[in-house]
Structure formats: C-alpha cells, structure tokens
Amino acid sequence: MNTQTHLISPTRQMEPIAVENLLINFTTEFHRIWDNTGSKSKPGSFWRPTPAPDLLPGYFPLGDLVISGRDNINEKRVMAVVREGDLQNAEAGKGPALSRPNDYQWVWSDTGSRANGDCSIWRPIPPEGYVALGLVCSNDSSKPSFNAVRCVRADLVVASSASTLIWSDKGSGADRDFSTWTVSPPSAPAGEIYFAPGTFIGANGYSKPAAPITAYALRMPIPLQVQTPPAAPVLTGHDASAALTPSRITQAVRLPWFTVSDPLMPSLVQLKTSPFYRLERTDHYLLVGEGRNSSDMHRPFRWRASRAQSFEMVRTFTRNTGLDIGNQWPSAMSAPQSAITCSARLGDSFCNTGSAPYEWVNSSEAEVIALVGKNRFAAVYLMQSDYRLLREDGSQVEGHLSFTDMDSLHLADYPAELEPAKDTKKELEKQTAVAPEQEPEKLPAAEPKADPQPTTGSAIVTDTAP
C-alpha cells in the first residue's frame, strides 16, 4: 500500500482577469467524459473543466479538453473558465459578455470504433454577436447540456488558427475520421495579450484544418500604471551631480502567470503562488558631461555617452523570464501543460520602442556635443530606464534590463540668463552622432565627468544663441 500522497498546499484563489464585463479565471479540476479504451487508435480522452463551486462560483467552461493519453489530469492540467461580470464595466450599448448556446451541431461520433463507451462531439451554435471557443463532448449520442459551456461576445475574442495535433481516431475503425488540434492565437499587437483557453478544434479527417476555420482566442489589454517621471535636473551652482533627481517608478504592467517563465517554479505552481507578475520600469537621469565656458563667446563641448542596453542583456532576460522586450512573445508554458497558448506584447511607450525598436540591441557609444553660452557652466543629462520583474510576494525574478534613451538629452546651464533675450532665444536642439555599431567594443569608454574639449564644425546641442 502506497502511503505517500501528493498534497497541494492550500492557497487563495486567483483574482480574476477582468476584461470589461468578462471575468476570466483558471481551474485544475476536471471530469472525465470519455476515453477510447478498447479502441485500436492511440490513447486519448476528453475532459470537462469543473470549477469548484466554493472557489469559482458562477464560472463556466468555454469547451472541453482533449489529451493524448488516458491518465488522470486533475491538478496536472489547467484551463480558463469564465463568468459574467458587472455590465457597467462594458462600453455603452454592449450586452452581457457571455451567453448560452442556442443549439449544438453534431461533429463526430465514435460509431464503429469498438471503444468500451460511446462518444459524440458537438459544436455549440452561438447567438448572434457571440462566438463559441471550443467543442463539447458527450458520452452518448445526445446533445450536451446547454449549461455545459458559455459563448463569448465577439468583440472580446480574436480569430485564431489550428496549430498542433492532439489526438486522432486513426486506426480505430470508426465510421468517420476525426482529429483534434490545439488553438494558436495570432501575434498580439503592442499592449495586448491573446490567449487560447485550452479548448480544441475538431476536423473530419487527419489533415491539419486550413483557414478559414471557426477558432477563437480570448483577448485582453495589458494593464499599465503610469506615474510622473523624475524632474529634469536644474543647476543651482557648479556641481552637476547635485542636480540629479531621485529615481522613480514611472510605469508598471501586470502580467498573468501564463505569460511568464519563472525559473523557480513550474506553471501550475505559478498559478497557485504567483498568479500575477509586476514588471516595473524605474527612470532616473544620468550625468553625461559638464563644463565651464569662461570665454566671451559660445563654445561647443563634446562628451561620450554609453548605452546601458545590449543584445546579450536582452537575450539573458528573455531566457530567464520568457518575456521579449519590444517584441511579441509566445506562451511560456511547456508540454504537457501547454493547453493554454498565448501571444503577448508590451506597449511601445513602456518599452521605449516607439521610434526605434532596434535601439534595445544597440550598445555602441554616442557622441554628444553641446554649445555652451558665454561665461556659463553647463551639464548634459540622459534618462536611463531600469526594468525588473517581481512575483506577487515581491521577490524578483532573476535578470534585469536597462535602457539609455538617447532621445532624452537634457541640457542645463548656470547661471540662469539675466536678460530675456527676446529676439535671440533659440529652441533647444538635440542631436547625437552614433559611433559605428559593428565594432562597439573598440570605442573608448565613456567619461561622464571628464574635462570637455572644445571643437568646431559639428552637430550641436544649444540652449541659447549669442
């Protein structure tokens, strides 16, 4: 007798993902509907998500789950389940997020397969304005209950495609051929997540279904919090470092567990212990260079500015977390728990990728040239953003990112101009000359506080005209 029992530590239920008036959560509890025991086809079984009434009251499946094999999947697989939320959270004129199917359309039955039990597969027929996200299994020839699944309002989903074969009845001898396939969402745009809830596509035959097919995935925006950025440095004397302002958390996004690959825990543990992750961006100014112009005419000064980002840093962060800064990334889940697949992409403003995404792999130094007014002390600053990924308990996932924004050049000078210079005041111009990228390692190291060297005939950063 085996006295060792795998115990799941009790944890609180995950806070639902709210998309307008749709609430999304996840269950690891299932009821076996049918398996092909007795058939000569490869082992396969169909399961229905059964969200626990005490933990997930009012939640419904979006379709059944099929697996290759007949082993018990409880606490080993996960699927999304849904519930109706507050209609006030939807835009005006939109109805409930969920609806019962109007009817079912027969897709397949195992007649002739010689399996020990009967099976039939059905496609929910949704009301107008709604779509069905999965097929439903019955252990006889009758239609499933209309409360077995829910259909979703069409604006809350995105059209998707078939991806990978899960199971087929090939070799069973059934009267009709049948195969089941995973759902693959399209590439998500910036600031969104597309994810398949774990349902499947069915096809009459063994070939991969080609478009157009009836397949959908859920969609959700990536929640973004924005705070006031650090104040730009203002010189009150000849100490440029004293003008630096404290760093601030300026933006943060909240990512669901299935978008993150946590090196310390598998996916199902993430769901139970860290269902959400927080990716923080902290901004602060760096001093590039400072100099005093003691002459009676404007003079240009030159400094070198280092970039904190690099290809290796981005690659390491992606390897540790599954996240790809500035690009879309696929689901972090791996087999055999990969029923939920996703595509996600962070917003461009959060990633500093609005104008030039390739800047994340540009580690070359930049040349900064400033035109300093006569008898003035000047300093040039740049904004650096640091990123870290936090679990729900506040611990940091291994790895970090840093990005130096060359478009954030800020020129400060001292003393302040005494005359208004009504006719000579010029708009601040900023320009950087980037050193060759192919051999950045051969460039000299940055010297942020080195004595400036006067130069002529170059691009400039100016604050005032003569």
Query: What would the pLDDT profile of 200-240 be if each residue is shown by its tens digit?
Result: 999 999 999 887 678 999 999 999 999 999 999 999 999 99
Among 56, 60, 67, smallest CA distance to 12 is for: 56
Identity at 259, one-letter amino acid code: T
**In the prediction, which pLDDT does 1 show?**
37
Residue 119: pLDDT above 70? yes
* First-to-last C-alpha distance (Å) of the chain: 93
Judge if 155 and 75 occupy the same domain: yes
- Paired tokens of 328: 């879309």
Name 99's Cβ contacts closer than 8 Å, sequence gap at least 6: 126, 127, 130, 150, 151, 153
For residues 246 and 178, give the distance between their C-alpha atoms in angstroms, rounded to a whole number.
63
Residue 463: the pLDDT is 34
5 part of a folded domain: no
Q: What is the CA radius of gyration of the chain?
A: 29
Q: How many domains are there within the chain?
A: 2
Both 248 and 116 in a single domain? no
Mean pLDDT, residues 447-466: 38
Q: What is the pLDDT of residue 116?
A: 96
Residue positions counted in the chain: 466
Q: Give the mean model confidence (pLDDT) for residues 37-55.
A: 96
pLDDT at 418: 53
327's tokens: 């690009």
Give percent helix, percent strand, percent coil of the chain, each to the nearest 5. 10, 40, 55
Is residue 199 situated within a structural domain?
Answer: yes
Reduced to 3 states (helix: H, G, I; strand: E, B; else coil), residue 55 is coil
209 with 318, same domain: the answer is no
The domain boundary, picked from 164, 185, 219, lies at 219
Quote the Cα angle for 29-35-38, to 5°.
155
Q: Which residues contact 174 (CB under 8 A, 6 or more apart)?
A: 39, 109, 110, 111, 112, 113
The residue whose two tokens read 């212990």 is 273
For residues 325 and 350, the answer to whether their CB atoms sit within 8 Å is no
Distance of alpha carbon 33 from alpha carbon 61, whole angstroms: 14
| CA distances from residue 409 to 171, 231, 431, 448, 452 in whole angstroms, order as listed | 68, 13, 8, 14, 17
Distance between alpha carbon 237 and the CA centroid of its chain, in Å?
Answer: 44
Q: What amino acid is encoded at 317 in this protein?
A: F
Q: Is the dihedral of CA 420, 424, 426, 431 positive or negative?
A: negative
DSSP 141: S
Strand partners, 429: 462
Q: What is the mean pLDDT of residues 337-362?
A: 85
Question: Is 271 a domain residue?
Answer: yes
Q: With respect to residue 89, please indicate whether it lies within any of the assigned structural domains.
A: yes
Residue 65, both tokens: 């789950």
Q: Is residue 330 located within the same domain as residue 407? A: yes
Question: Among 190, 219, 248, which residue terminates a domain?
Answer: 219
**Amino acid (1-letter code) at residue 173:** G
Stretch 291-318: mean pLDDT, rounded? 95
**In 128-254, alpha helices (H):** none
Q: What is the pLDDT of residue 420?
A: 47
Confidence band, pLDDT 50/70/90 cuts, at residue 434: very low
Q: Are residues 133 and 174 in the same domain?
A: yes
Q: Where are the alpha helices (DSSP H) in 292-397?
A: 311-321, 348-351
Sign of the dihedral defined by the CA atoms of residues 354, 356, 357, 360, in that order? negative
pLDDT average, residue stretch 284-309: 96
The answer to whether 449 and 289 are in contact (CB under 8 A) is yes
Give yes or no for residue 433 having a pLDDT over 90: no
Pair 182, 316 in one domain: no
Q: Which residue has the higher pLDDT, 463 or 203?
A: 203
Q: Torsion angle, CA of 9/16/31/48, rounded to 10 degrees?
A: -150
11 occurs within a structural domain: no
Cα 147 from Cα 124, distance rounded (Å): 11
Mark whether 293 and 314 lie in a shared domain.
Answer: yes
Residue 409 lies in a domain: yes
| Full residue range of the structural domain in which residue 334 is found | 224-462
CA-closest candidate to residue 301, choices 368, 231, 222, 383: 368
Identify the domain boundary among 219, 237, 271: 219
pLDDT at residue 355 greater than cutoff 80: no
For residue 71, pLDDT over 60 is answered with: yes
Specify the higher pLDDT residue, 409 or 466. 409
Q: Say how far apart CA 223 and CA 191 lie, in whole Å.
A: 8
207 and 297 part of one domain = no
In a domain, 340, yes or no: yes
Q: Which helix (H) or strand (E) holds 271?
A: helix 267-273
Same domain, 107 and 256: no
pLDDT (mean) for 446-465: 38
Q: Looking at this protein, which amino acid is placed at residue 243?
A: A
- Is the distance from CB of 66 to CB of 73 less than 8 angstroms? no
Asked whether the beta carbons of 122 and 48 are under 8 A apart, the reply is no
Give the DSSP per-residue string, 298-341: -EEEEEEE-----HHHHHHHHHHHS--TTS-EE----TTSTTSE
246 in the same domain as 115: no
In this predicted structure, the answer to whether residue 256 has a pLDDT above a threshold of 50 is yes
Same domain, 333 and 450: yes
391: left (phi over 0), alpha (psi -120 to 50) or beta: beta
The confidence band for 288, taking pLDDT boundaries of 50, 70 and 90, is: very high
Q: Determine, yes or no, domain membership for 8.
A: no
- What's the average model confidence in pLDDT over 258-281? 95
* DSSP type of residue 424: T
The pLDDT of residue 155 is above 90 = yes
- The reported pLDDT for the residue numbered 353 is 83
**pLDDT the model gives residue 186:** 95
Pairing status of strand 179-184 against strand 161-168: antiparallel
- State the average pLDDT for the chain: 87
Q: Are residues 176 and 259 in the same domain?
A: no
The per-residue DSSP string of 29-61 comes to: -EEEEEE-TTSSSPPEEEEEE---TTTSTT-EE
